[in-house]
Structure 1
Amino acid sequence: MKGLALIPRHDFAFDPTYGYDLEGLLAVPAPEAPADFEEFWREAHARATAVSVAPKLGPVEWEADGLRFHGVSYTSVEGFRVGGWLSVPIDGEITRARVVAHGYGGRDRPEVRVDIPGTATIWPCARGLPARSLHPDLPSDAQKHVLHGIGARESYIHGGCVADMWCAATALTELVPETRDVRLDYIGTSFGGGIGPFVLAFDDRFASGALVVPSFGNHPLRLTLQCTGSGAAVRDHYARHPEVLDVLAYFDSATAATFVRRPVHVGAALFDPAVPPPGQFAVYNALGGPKELFVLETGHFAHPEEAAQEAALTQAQYGFMTA
């Protein structure tokens, strides 16, 4: 395979490269948007930015690497109270701001990868997900969470999750007023990378983004590919309810990427059993603004060079977002 030195040894009953080489991955398109796709999402954004987020800053929980971490909570759409963390530099003025999303396992604390000096960051846990946005009416397991409300575009939980990130940006500006006048970026991995194109496409507050192994790209293709994790749950549901594709058309990350005009860095994998690479590359290929690609050997799969690869990805993201 061009671009993949050696296919890793694995025990999956399917090929996590799905038979694609790099050239093939770079040709995967985005599905055509429904006629009212943009209208649907701009209305969703208007509802989110109209929310009185009422952020609450908790006490300092720890300090590390020149940053002070507080617990934080704020209100998102449907009155949902989102929890997470806020980090601010211990010393020095704030010159940048970020919203950093997480993967489908949620997070039990912030994972600082790209450390840009002078940055204030909000680290939300999307609704229903660990550790700080659990709710008795929402499933916390990824394979159940990904199906919650999937019967209609108005109720599908991913719409609320995108709104949680928009409301996080509002909460950040209220908690740290200095961030109103500095550059705001978005970073998301896997689940967070998949909702990232929606966050970036319809909110002009964000200057740039970084997406790593983004999920939810090209659903019509993705639903034909065997995989693990949340994707498997959606694929199984589609087999019983093919009409769900009409709903998923509004939540396709590659489709949303066609509306993104700001600079975006993407780390996409050649081998990934959880998020099929064709979907990841569909997101990158569809981006409508300046973009940069970092090709990962694997995603959602441990290998001997993983640490070195992660370090190289972090360096590439840092260079892109500080250029």
Structure 2
Amino acid sequence: MSIPTQHPYAFDPTQGFDLNQLRAIRPPTAAPGFDAFWRPRYERALGLNPQPRVNASRASHPDWLVQDITYTSTDKFPIGGWLLLPREGGVTRGLVVGHGYGGREAPDFDLPVTETALLFPCFRGLSRSRRAPISTDPAWHVLHDIDKPDRYILGGCVEDLWLAVSALTALFPAVAGRIGYSGISFGGGIGALAMAFDTRIARGSLEVPTFGNMPLWLTLPTVGSGHAVQAYARVHPETVTMLGLFDSATASARITAPMLTAVARFDPAVAPPCQFSVANALPASSHHETFILDAGHYDYPGMMEQHALLLDKVRRFFGVL
């Protein structure tokens, strides 16, 4: 297996970094006030009652009981999603599953976990949590209230994840201490920011996480949401300093739970150095493992085989929750 050599992009999705250079990437210096910005938000979120409400879903699956779920996040924002319960065996652990910037139209039924309550929330403004005036277009969603750090949409999405953990615990008190998180791309970056402060999440899996190493993320060519932020920051340079508060690599350095990160050497939507910044920032004490993909956000030969190997690692990783 090897990284793609032919592609339709006007830039190199490896960003010119070889594997040794990617492994050497370190996170930027933390933005001043990073912890002071997030800790009070977490404490406030922890004090809220998410009031989860569950109803039968039109969807069905032979292995899972599918339910529609709603809960209340910060700012009384209604969050919608799905709850999957195993048809056989009890519930001994919980897993919150985040989505990419394309949103989510259905839960994933192929996650290799057992005896697990799976919560698939849709982050605010997207899919089942869409609400005007927030755009569902990633290029506009990522800019929503970007000029107001305390109101910026990414912070609200982190709070949605914290409240998802609260909702799972309210529904299944026995899973407290045995809750994991799995997030891809957008959900990976949000997951790192959330796990930096939420020790209720005992294990985390992040695949091709975004929002890592903002100084690089804001300068490297991309077809992802970063392109919209780069264009905005050129007109509003004061944004650059503020975005340091939403750096998932800075957050990753604060995660103490065991982590499995899957990062790509070639990715047109999330620059590989930014992904590796998230993985490399994890402290050695967190017992983390890094799985290297040939490419992310792009179909390539051998992709199915690599993802099968990754799924097996995910099965074993969350199996010890």
What TM-score do the two structures reach when normalised by structure 2? 0.96
Aligned to 1:194: 189
Query: Cα RMSD (Å) of the superposition?
Result: 1.3
Aligned to 1:249: 244
Moved more, 184-193 or 103-112: 103-112
Residue 118 (structure 2) pairs with residue 107 (structure 1):
no
Aligned to 1:145: 141
1:37, distance to aligned residue in structure 2 (A): 0.9
Aligned to 1:52: 49
CA 281–65 in structure 1, closer or farther in 2 if over 3 Å, else same: farther
Distance 2:100 2:301 in 1: 22
Q: Is the 8 A contact 2:65 2:87 kept in 1?
A: yes
Q: Gaps spanning 5+ residues in structure 2: where?
A: none
Distance 1:195 1:8 in 2: 30
Letter in 1 for 2:153: I
Q: Deviations over 1:105-144 (max 9, x none)?
A: 10001123432110001100000001x0010121111000
Aligned partner of 2:67 among 66, 70, 79: 70
Q: Deviations over 1:65-110 (max 9, x none)?
A: 5211100000000110000001111121111101110000100011
Q: Is the 8 A contact 1:76 1:82 kept in 2?
A: yes
- Secondary structure of residue in 1 paired with 2:132: coil
Letter in 2 for 1:44: R
Aligned to 1:270: 265
Residue 235 (structure 2) pairs with residue 240 (structure 1):
yes
Aligned partner of 2:18 among 1, 16, 21: 21
Aligned partner of 1:88 among 85, 90, 107: 85
Q: Is the 8 A contact 1:186 1:209 kept in 2?
A: yes
Distance 1:63 1:193 in 2: 27
Q: Is the 8 A contact 1:227 1:274 kept in 2?
A: yes
Q: Gaps spanning 5+ residues in structure 1: where?
A: none
Q: Is the 8 A contact 1:152 1:247 kept in 2?
A: no
Letter in 1 for 2:187: G
Q: Runs of 4 or more off by more than 4 Å in structure 1?
A: none
Distance 1:309 1:26 in 2: 19
Identity %: 43
Q: Deviations over 1:200-237 (max 9, x none)?
A: 11111111100000000001011111100211111111
Aligned to 1:285: 280
